[in-house]
Amino acid sequence: MYETCPQQYKFTYIDHIADEYKQPKPYLTMGAHVHNSLKDFYDNIEPTERSWDVLEGILRRRWRENRSGFADREDEKNWGMRALQMLKAFYFKNDITKTPVMLEDFYDMDLAEDIRVVGRIDRVDEEDEGLHVIDYKTGKYNKEDVSDLQLIIYAMIVEANSKQRVHKASYLYLTTNQWYSLDISSDMYEAVAEQLIERVEIIKQDKELNPRINKYCKNCDFIDICPKSEEVKQLIEKKTLPNI
Ligand code: SF4
């Protein structure tokens, strides 16, 4: 977040006002339901009982619990269909009998005396070569947004918590069932840890935390209180937000 916009980072992690300004978003509601449905499916259903009807039932039940962020019934229906299609592709194109060893939880590790790195790990499978860390993506695959760094950080956190070797880390783009995988070796960790420590230093030294107008401003909850509010709104209206 800091790298996208230091001001947004300040509002969220220094001023702690995100709860006050947070607006429900359809893609976040849908994404949470897809993640939670997959968690319930693996956590609560025995491999022999896993079927498409069961997974669909879980999604429908989860959906009734939270229906916020949609413009109207039609919009909600479209997002619901999207979620169903993602789970359908997942169910019919993957081995659903596997039982993950970690599922949808926060794990952390100490990086330095005063730096702890935290990651929400979607899923970890045990394979012959070692552990396989999987991060589900409910957005579309976009080559520019793919981050090897994030995968290595996840692998590092999982290895520190499980004390088992991680051999692979992957994003699974649920819309198209597309996998992006990275072979992991533990000699990647030192450079990544150094990079993270450097980035934390940069944040600590930034006393201004200025707004940085970017392509995600249109989804920012702080538009109304952003020091560049007027400019951002004009750019959104003209559809000319910078592609950064
Ligand atoms: S509207 Fe844009 S520039 Fe302003 S805080 Fe949000 S992300 Fe940053």
pLDDT tens-digit profile, the chain (244 residues): 999 999 999 999 999 999 999 999 999 999 999 999 999 999 999 999 999 999 999 999 999 999 999 999 999 999 999 999 999 999 999 999 999 999 989 999 999 999 999 999 999 999 999 999 999 999 988 888 899 999 999 999 999 999 999 999 999 999 999 999 999 999 999 999 999 999 999 999 999 999 999 999 999 999 999 999 999 999 999 999 998 8
- Nearest 10 degrees: CA dihedral of 36, 38, 44, 46? 180
Same domain, 85 and 106: no
Atom 7 of ligand 1, nearest CA residue: 217
* Ligand 1 pocket check for 209: Cβ under 6 Å: no
Same domain, 88 and 108: no
| Residue 143: per-residue pLDDT | 86
Task: Please give the number of the atom of ligand 1 that sits closest to the Cα of 217.
Answer: 2
Given 41, 74, 93, which residue is the final one in a domain?
93
Same domain, 110 and 191: yes
Same domain, 113 and 179: yes
Residue 36 lies inside a defined structural domain of this protein: yes
* Ligand 1 pocket check for 226: Cβ under 6 Å: yes
Token digits of residue 238: 């003209």
Contact of 232 with 217, CB cutoff 8 Å: yes
Predicted model pTM: 0.91
- Nearest 10 degrees: CA dihedral of 227, 233, 234, 240? 110
- Measured in Å, residue 221 CA sits from the centre of ligand 1 at 8
Same domain, 189 and 147: yes
Q: Residue 2's CB: how many other CB atoms inside 10 A?
A: 18
* Ligand 1 pocket check for 223: Cβ under 6 Å: yes
* Ligand 1 pocket check for 222: Cβ under 6 Å: yes
* Ligand 1 pocket check for 7: Cβ under 6 Å: yes
* Ligand 1 pocket check for 12: Cβ under 6 Å: no
Same domain, 62 and 114: no
Same domain, 89 and 106: no
Given 35, 58, 93, which residue is the final one in a domain?
93
| Residue 12: per-residue pLDDT | 98
Q: Provide the β-strand partners of residue 102.
A: 124
Residue 176 lies inside a defined structural domain of this protein: yes
d(CA 207, CA 10): 10
Mutational test site, ligand 1, from 1, 17, 222, max ligand atoms within 8 Å of CB = 222
Report, in angstroms and rounded to the nearest whole number, the Rg of the chain calculated over CA atoms.
20
Same domain, 59 and 82: yes
Task: Please give the number of the atom of ligand 1 that sits closest to the Cα of 228.
Answer: 4
Same domain, 80 and 129: no
| Residue 9: per-residue pLDDT | 98
Sign of CA dihedral 175, 178, 183, 187: negative
Residue 236 lies inside a defined structural domain of this protein: no
**Structural domain tally of the chain?**
2
| Residue 144: per-residue pLDDT | 82
| Residue 244: per-residue pLDDT | 86
Same domain, 84 and 130: no
Range(s) of the domain holding residue 148: 102-200
d(CA 222, CA 236): 14
| Residue 191: per-residue pLDDT | 96
